[in-house]
């Protein structure tokens, strides 16, 4: 039995995702998205009341797949917490080396909407980053690391800092270096946690 064709809404989001990620949200018109989705602009506006709503849907569609990918990379890595977290950076270093990589879609969108802090896409991007941070804090706490929330935030800073610098230099070794820093940070925290309490 052949799979059901994607819904019109899904087609629009897929078209918007390709264009927004490749060219940026300000450079892409609603007309271009409609043309890419092979439908009329009227049909597009039936499903999305505005371009802002479509931009928000684009980021929302990236949220769970991105989180699931990071979680899978973490789970597949062999070793303790520092190695598992470093594995996320290592896998990303491979991803950012690809020609089609244009940066973190959430951060790029935030940069384009920096003067619109109330934009729905900004809220979705912020929620995505917080979800990853919260998930990471849970893993670190489950592994017995103290100050798991602070450690998770520090790892997020290394990750997003690497994303920003790689956009400038197009050099994936910055992601590798950030991963080494994350591993060292967590290794030091694990060492401290294993020390006996002073008498």
Write out the DSSP string of the chain.
-PPPPPPHHHHHHHHHHHHHHHH-TTT--HHHHHHHHTS-HHHHHHH-SSHHHHHHHHHHHHHHHHHHHHHHHHHHS-SSHHHHHHHHHHHHHHHHTSTT----HHHHHHHHTTT-TT-HHHHHHHHHHHHHHHHHHHHHHHTT-TTHHHHHHHHHHHHHHHHHHHHHH--THHHHHHHHHHHHHHHHHHHHHHSPPP-
Among 86, 103, 108, smallest CA distance to 25 is for 108
Residues 56-71 have pLDDT tens digits of 999 999 999 999 999 9
The encoded tokens of residue 96 equal 């950012």
Comparing 3 with 32, the larger pLDDT belongs to 32
97/132 Cα distance (integer angstroms): 22
pTM higher than the cut 0.85 = yes
69-73: long-range contacts at Cβ-Cβ below 8 A with a sequence spacing of 24 or more?
70/132, 70/135, 71/135
189/81 Cα distance (integer angstroms): 11
67/134 Cα distance (integer angstroms): 11
Residues 146-175 have pLDDT tens digits of 999 999 999 999 999 999 999 999 999 999
Among 166, 151, 2, smallest CA distance to 95 is for 166
Residues 22-63 have pLDDT tens digits of 999 999 999 999 999 999 999 999 999 999 999 999 999 999
Predicted confidence at residue 195, as pLDDT, reads 81
Contact 128, 68 (CB under 8 A): no
């Amino acid at each position: 039995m052949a799979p059901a064709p994607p819904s019109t809404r899904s087609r629009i989001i897929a078209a918007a995702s390709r264009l927004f990620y490749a060219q940026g949200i300000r450079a892409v018109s609603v007309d271009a998205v409609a043309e890419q989705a092979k439908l009329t602009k009227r049909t597009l506006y039936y499903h999305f009341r505005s371009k802002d709503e479509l931009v928000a849907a684009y980021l929302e569609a990236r949220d769970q797949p991105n989180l699931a990918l990071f979680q899978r990379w973490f789970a597949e890595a062999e070793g303790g917490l520092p190695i598992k977290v470093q594995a996320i950076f290592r896998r990303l270093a491979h991803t950012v080396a690809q020609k089609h990589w244009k940066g973190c879609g959430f951060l790029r969108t935030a940069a384009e909407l920096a003067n619109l802090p109330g934009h729905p896409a900004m809220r979705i991007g912020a929620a995505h980053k917080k979800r990853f941070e919260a998930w990471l804090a849970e893993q670190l706490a489950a592994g017995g690391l103290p100050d798991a929330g602070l450690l998770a935030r520090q790892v997020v800073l290394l990750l997003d800092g690497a994303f920003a610098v790689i956009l400038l230099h197009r050099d994936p070794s910055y992601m590798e270096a950030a991963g080494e820093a994350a591993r060292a940070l967590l290794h030091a925290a694990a060492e401290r946690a294993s020390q006996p309490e002073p008498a």
